[in-house]
Structure 1
Amino acid sequence: MADAQRTPLVTFYVPVYNGAAYLRESLASISAQTFGDWECLLIDDHSTDASPAILDDACKRDPRFRAYRQPANLNVANASNLALRLARGKYLARLDQDDLAEPTRLAEQVAFMESHPEVDVCGGAMLYFGRENGVASLPADDGTIKANLLTGMNNIGNPASTVRTAFLREHSILNDPRFPLSCDYGMWVDCTLAGGRFANLPGVMTRYRTHEGQASVDMVALQVGVIQAKTRLLLKWFPDLSFAEVQAMEPLLRANAVVFLDRESAARGVAVLRKAMASPRPSVSGEDRAAVEAYLAQRCALWQGHLDEA
């Protein structure tokens, strides 16, 4: 067991809110890591169930666990920001309260990042189990991961992510507490804009539990945060477009959400897409520009088809 008094190489952190049903199993997966030089910050967001007692017991059993209780229910973004302030590790690894870290997750991610100092964010595949089952494999290379930020999908899995702590602090990158449902996406956008580099390992890093007890997601609130972050990205990647033009184009890029637009708004968005494609640019943030252009063309064709059918 690592000496709790010396600086650990990795800080695991687990935001907790009324997670008693699966929390013990999640913490056990951290204790079972083959890489032992870690601390784990357990940030309790003012739970009302047995979670605080479970966290206290974990800390008594293993001093590498450290529990903190928020003074009120302040949301997961604030809990994550507290973990960043308290972290002592060179690397900051996230795990959710109902998920399981694969035993070799830290060993694999730390080894990769130690040998690839240019990489600031390392993720990996996630195995879905429970109500839904399957493996979510994500692109390995930086350029594709960044290009996929346009869709909001298939980039970095938050519960499987390990980040260089110094990179986040140097660039003052935090989770936005205004948008707790999409704060992870906003963080990846901000890492991109700050010049960060991404990678995903091919193996499963985290087992992602799907179950009936998971809170239903407010899709409107989720989308508001995604739109805010994606707008920042589009303004950087397409500096020739005005803010109004980016606002017109953004709804047409939502691959994972139903978008209802009147004909005039859709036509305006298509016109902006055509303008964006008419002036090809080199990569701005390391994104695979060919993949970006291909996605713009695909969305433009799709929406033009809707207009032609109307």
Structure 2
Amino acid sequence: MQPHTVSIIIPCYNDGKYLPEAVASARAQSYPNIEIIIVNDYSTDPLTNSLLEKFAAEGITVINTTPGKKGLSAARNTAIKASSGEYILPLDADDKVDPTYVEKAVAVLASNPRVLICTSRVRFFGLRHNEWVQGAYSYANLVLEEYKILATSLFRRKDWARIGGYEESLTMGKEDMVFWLDILKDGGEAEILPEILIYYRIKPFSMSALRGGAPTECEKVAAMYAARPDLFHDHTIDFMCYCANFRVEKSQRECLFSWKLFSHLFRLEWFLRQKVKRLFGRA
């Protein structure tokens, strides 16, 4: 029996410097039935465009968007529409995955219909080389961004169709988070594989806030809320509890800091008082 096709979709905008590594990790998958689709989101970099021509000549499907950069959501939707896979794995052009990732993630989705998203632990590479340690996964923590599921996670094509795809109005960021929230809002589970199988590149100016003119985190959150107000309204109590806990933790940290800063003065004051008491025969 032919295994189900997994479509690895790679949006690319001027990432030619990193693209070969992402494509190589997609090609190296142990799973036997893979198709790779790259969407060129109107790249202007000559290196990127020459590499895309090379990959197209090698048989990889390369789709060029119409003039004007459309953004990650539109690029991913374009690739998925052109794909044939029952399962979809987005892969950013500057990241990479372990050769066994698709095989292990497909096994999870194929064996458990309640699991709608399969992801794994994550390691940073590039400017940093350490595991991305996160707290416990829950839907509420996903809403609060206390747990983040990376774009490079496997899901079923039918769930993408069910929710209408990625939200293309989100061009400043947060499109992955909203996509996962949409998929899981009516139930279902996300499973995190216990191994590090996703590698997330940290590169110069990876933090968008460092780029001149880039949207702030508050602007991104406001756009995300505007796109899904009902969803976030349903979790108002979670936000309130989160803020309350943050205030308690902040107060505790401030008390601890004050104690560490002034404890030697408190000890000195106690020592001097004892000296005075002994001097007057009261100790």
TM bracket (short chain): 0.7 to 0.9
Distance, in Å, in 2 between the alignment partners of 1:81 and 1:118 is 24
- State the partner residue of 2:256: none
Q: 1:102, CA displacement in angstroms? A: 0.8
Corresponding residue for residue 157 of structure 2: 165
8 Å Cα contact 1:75-1:177 kept in structure 2: no
- Say whether 1:27 aligns with 2:19: no
Question: Residue 221 of structure 1: CA displacement?
Answer: 3.1
The whole-number CA distance in structure 2 between the counterparts of 1:40 and 1:300 is 47
1:70-109 equivalences in 2 (<5 Å):
70-71=65-66, 72-109=68-105
Structure 2: which 5+ runs fail to align? 210-214, 253-283
Q: Distance in 2 between matches of 1:167 and 1:116?
A: 15
Aligned to 1:227: 225
**8 Å CA contact 1:156, 1:200 repeated in 2:** no
Q: Which amino acid aligns with 1:14?
A: I
3-state DSSP class of the match of 2:17?
A: helix
1:67 pairs with one of 57, 62, 68 = 62
- Match 1:298 to one of 245, 265, 272: 245
Greater C-alpha Rg: 2
Which runs of structure 2 are paired with 1:1-310 in the superposition (5 Å)?
9-49=5-45, 50-61=47-58, 63=59, 65-71=60-66, 72-137=68-133, 144-159=137-152, 161-212=153-204, 214=206, 216-217=208-209, 218-219=215-216, 220-228=218-226, 231-237=229-235, 246=236, 253=239, 273=240, 295=242, 298-299=245-246, 301=248
TM superposition shift of 1:106: 0.6
In the alignment, the residues of structure 2 paired with residue 90 and residue 180 of structure 1 have an alpha-carbon distance, to the nearest angstrom, of 29
C-alpha displacement of 1:210: 0.8
Q: State the Cα RMSD in Å.
A: 2.8
Calculate the TM-score normalised by the size of structure 1: 0.70
Check conservation: 2:143, 2:181, Cα contact below 8 A.
no
Q: Distance in 1 between matches of 2:83 and 2:18?
A: 24
SS at the partner of 1:206?
strand
Task: Report the more deviating stretch, 191-200 or 102-111.
Answer: 191-200
Aligned residues: 244
Q: Among the aligned pairs, what percent are the same residue?
A: 23
TM-score when scaled to structure 2? 0.76
Name stretches of at least 5 consecutive residues in structure 1 with no aligned partner.
Answer: 1-5, 238-245, 254-272, 274-292, 306-310
Secondary structure of the 2:121 match is: strand
**Amino acid in the other structure paired with 2:147:** N
- Asked if the contact 2:71–2:171 (Cα under 8 Å) also holds between the matched residues in 1, the reply is no
The answer to whether the Cα contact below 8 Å between 1:145 and 1:156 also exists between their aligned partners in 2 is no
Contact kept in structure 2, 1:132 and 1:210, CA below 8 Å: yes
- The offset of 1:199, in angstroms, is 1.3
Q: Return the offset for 1:113.
A: 1.2
CA distance in 1, matches of 2:69, 2:106: 32
